[in-house]
A = this chain, B = another copy of it.
Amino acid sequence: MVVDELGGTEADRIFHALADATRRDIIARVIRQEQSVSALARLYPMSLAAVQKHVAVLERAALVTKERHGREQRVRADLTVLRRATRLLDAYEQLWRHRTHSIEQILAEDQEGH
């Protein structure tokens, strides 16, 4: 029923991408060192295609980028996006602590287009 262009807001995509243990593990691994897709696939009890899909979800959320290097496609993390997610949650906490009445700021940051 969602007729949206693709998957909703940026926050939608980021949190959805984080809502899976395999994807969080992929992030944690490529933070330390970029890895090829098939190297990642060997780590998990699922097919290469499944891991490709997980990487694609992370890519849609801009949490990782791929860079072709020979015949390999190296996956690496883009931490600035992860930082945006952290700041969004931080904003909710601020909202709590300060009981601020200007909720519009955090909600505005939570829209498509940021």
- Residues on A lying within 8 angstroms of B by beta carbon are 8-9, 11-12, 15-16, 18-21, 24-25, 27-29, 31-32, 77, 79, 82-83, 85-86, 89-90, 92-93, 95-96, 99, 101, 103, 106-107, 110
Oligomer copy total: 2
Interface of A is mostly: helix
Given contacts A82-B93, A85-B89, A93-B82, contact A19 B25 (CB under 8 A): no
On chain B, the residues within 8 Å of A28 by CB distance are 92, 95, 103, 106-107
Given contacts A21-B110, A24-B11, contact A86 B83 (CB under 8 A): no
Given contacts A96-B31, A99-B32, contact A12 B19 (CB under 8 A): yes
In the bound assembly, the distance between CA atoms of A110 and B79 in angstroms comes to 19
On chain B, the residues within 8 Å of A20 by CB distance are 8, 12
Given contacts A27-B92, A83-B93, A93-B79, contact A8 B32 (CB under 8 A): no
